[in-house]
Structure 1
Amino acid sequence: MNRLLEKDPAQDPARVGRGRLRALVARHPLVAFFVIALGASWAAWTPYVLSAHGLGVWDLRFPELLGTAQFSGVLPGALLGPLGAGFLVTALVDGRAGLRRWFGRLWRWRVPGRWYALALLGVPLLVLASGLPLSGGVVQAPAPLVLAALVPGLVVQVFTTGLAEEPGWRDFALPRLQERFGPTGAVAVLGPLWALWHLPLFLSDWGGYPGSPWTQVLWFTGFCVTFNVVVAWVFNRTGESLPVVTLLHVGVNNTVSTLWTEVYPAMSADRVVPGLFAVSAVAAAALLVATRGRLGYRPAPARTLR
């Protein structure tokens, strides 16, 4: 009689619900990742966007660190989004083996030095060159103190922007998208979604609100779509090295935040992204033509990513 009265674990509603959720995520891991990544970040960013740092609906100010409130107001949502979604969906779908692959790319730093040269020197030089046509001839050499700030700034960017985004966009999503849609299809999907993820931040000081023109969103979207092609090519050619891809990504951010106003003192902030878009668009088009759309991608037939 006691055995009959005992609750069957298989009929536990909570366990059944978790099983159904796991099965749903396993059937649609990419959809689950993007829903969680965007949803978690947007939900976490809502207070910041509504605060005095954005729309001003709430009389709320976030604490500042290193002269900006974005570390306390923006970074937590970024970490919850792509990074959190990549870890969660990988754990649910692929278990420990999948997590080992996911973490493994984060430590794949042994690649030829030319890729580090591209990320650490080539990208910053191209970023600065993108401003020359828009500078009006007002260009100056950066002060030694500014140059000295490049390395600390890069380290901060790696452990904030890089850690928050790349384990999700490139470590989780890109390999699965390439396996399903091929390299050109993958970048066509990932680029716009990468841009969309940033969208709420344009209603805060992160995006220059309220002084930034609405066209900045269009320029930024174009930059994300085209620069994403370059990042995918580097990811594939370096054997899926997250360290190099992260340095490539944050090299853009660090150069703009550290050097831009020093080199181009007369240029307004809303002219930065159009120049970046122009350079990345040329680079993306050249890579697509030169690789015939393959972007260095080599399918891995021995392993199937779900």
Structure 2
Amino acid sequence: MENPPVPHEPAGLRGSIRRNPLTWFFTLAFALSWAAWTPYVLSRNGLDVWQFTFPGGRAGSQLTGVLPGAYLGPIASALLVTGITEGRAGLRTWRRRMLRFKVSWRWYLVVLLSVPAALTVASAVLAGRGPALPSAMILAAYLPGLLIQMITTGLAEEPGWREFAMPRMQQRHGPLTATLVVGVLWGCWHLPLFLTEWGGGPHVSWTVPVQFVVMTIAFSFVMTWVFNRSGESMPLVMLLHTGVNNYLSLAWTDMFPSLSEHDGARALLLAATAAALVLLIATRGRLGLPRR
């Protein structure tokens, strides 16, 4: 149910966005990304309805088929809604969070080391043995790969889900409900991509996207804790997110050659769930949000 118009507030679309910024953000994030992903889903990289193949193989096609929609959704929607509802002051706050690099070096060390450590332990449990040592080439490519992931995945997604949505959701509903809602929506936002080679293709089992959404919920609890405890540092939150992508895409296959791609998803689910449970118990559900 929409809120009644407020005096001196514009009517029509602009007024609706000001009254319901979160609703509009989530709606636009889904609509813009899904519209931009439609050619990729319909192409030979997906449902094979459109007789066109995005070039570059699996990795290259994701840059041209997936990334434009990722940028057009969360970050563009966050900037648009922030500009309409809060003007220049809101955009300055957005920029401050995005440039909040000045947090303790220990935070960067914890994020850089804990992500591969947790995924390595979870993968070792699934494999029933320890990891192989990654090659020198993998080690050399790890930090450059992390930087690329920060510019692509991190910058495309996190300024919307965490920077825009989480402060507003936590203010209204508290950290638990806010994290659960954002986690579900963040996971469901990816669903059309499971019809493409990004997510296994149109014949992928329904359990794969369901497992992915459960993982995004669990991982969101970890993301919320880092966001709150670091003073809402977006570079650190983006580093946490992209650390997972970078490890799984670069190092994981070399370290666990006996495991399949689906095992990698299971390892991430296991690690995220364990970390979420520890944080929920340790913080008594506050997830690092200061009490006002």
* TM above 0.5: yes
Q: Which residue of 2 aligns with 1:231?
A: 223
Q: Deviations over 1:276-301 (max 9, x none)?
A: 1111111111111111111111267x
Which letter does structure 1 place at the counterpart of 2:260?
A: S
Alignment of 1:119 with 2:134, yes or no, is no
Q: Which moved more, 1:59-68 or 1:69-78?
A: 59-68
Gaps of 5+ in 1: 1-17, 301-306
Aligned with 1:198 (options 173, 185, 190)? 190
Aligned to 2:242: 250
Judge conservation of contact 2:58–2:198 (CA < 8 Å) in 1: no
CA distance in structure 2 between the partners assigned to 1:65 and 1:83 by the alignment: 26
Q: Which moved more, 1:256-265 or 1:213-222?
A: 213-222
- What's the CA shift string for 1:38-83, capped at 9, x where partnerless? 1100010011011011111111112328952100000000000000
1:21 to 1:150, Cα distance in 2 relative to 1, 3 A? same
The question of whether the paired residues in 1 share the 8 Å contact of 2:194 and 2:200 is answered with yes
**Which runs of at least 4 in structure 1 moved beyond 4 Å after TM superposition?**
none
What is the match of residue 287 of structure 2? 295
Question: What's the TM-score, normalizing by structure 1?
Answer: 0.89
Partner in structure 2 of residue 78 of structure 1? 70
- 2:247 match: secondary structure: helix
Structure 1 equivalent of residue 6 of structure 2:
none
| Cα RMSD after superposing both structures | 1.6
Deviation (angstroms), 1:253: 0.3
Are residue 87 (structure 1) and residue 79 (structure 2) matched? yes
Shift of 1:214: 2.5
Contact 1:213 1:270 in 2 (8 A): no
Residue number among 127, 137, 140 corresponding to 2:132 in the alignment? 140
Q: Tell me which moved more, 273-282 or 93-102.
A: 273-282
- Provide structure 2 residue ranges, at least 5 long, that are not aligned to the other structure: 1-9
What amino acid maps onto 2:226 in structure 1? V
Contact kept? 1:157, 1:250, Cα under 8 Å? yes
Q: Where in structure 2 are the equivalents of 1:255-266 lying within 5 Å?
A: 255-266=247-258
Of the structure 1 ranges 213-222 and 73-82, higher mean CA displacement relative to structure 2 is found in: 213-222
**More moved, 285-294 vs 136-145:** 136-145
Provide TM-score, normalisation by structure 2: 0.93
Number of equivalent positions: 283
Note the 1:18-37 alignment, pairs <5 A: 19-37=11-29
What corresponds to 1:57 in structure 2? 49
Work out the CA distance in 2 between the residues paired with 1:199 and 1:233.
Answer: 25
Residue identity matched to 1:292: R
* Alpha-carbon distance in structure 1 between the residues aligned to 2:120 and 2:213: 20
Percent identity of paired positions between Structure 1 and Structure 2: 49
* Residue-by-residue CA offset, 1:214-266 (whole Å, 9 max, x unaligned): 31112211110000000000000000000000000000000000011111112
Match of 1:167 in 2: 159
Higher Cα radius of gyration: 1
Which has the higher mean CA deviation after the structures are superposed, 72-81 or 124-133?
Answer: 124-133
Alpha-carbon spacing, 1:80–1:23, altered in 2? closer, same or farther (3 Å): same
Matched to 1:228, the amino acid is: S
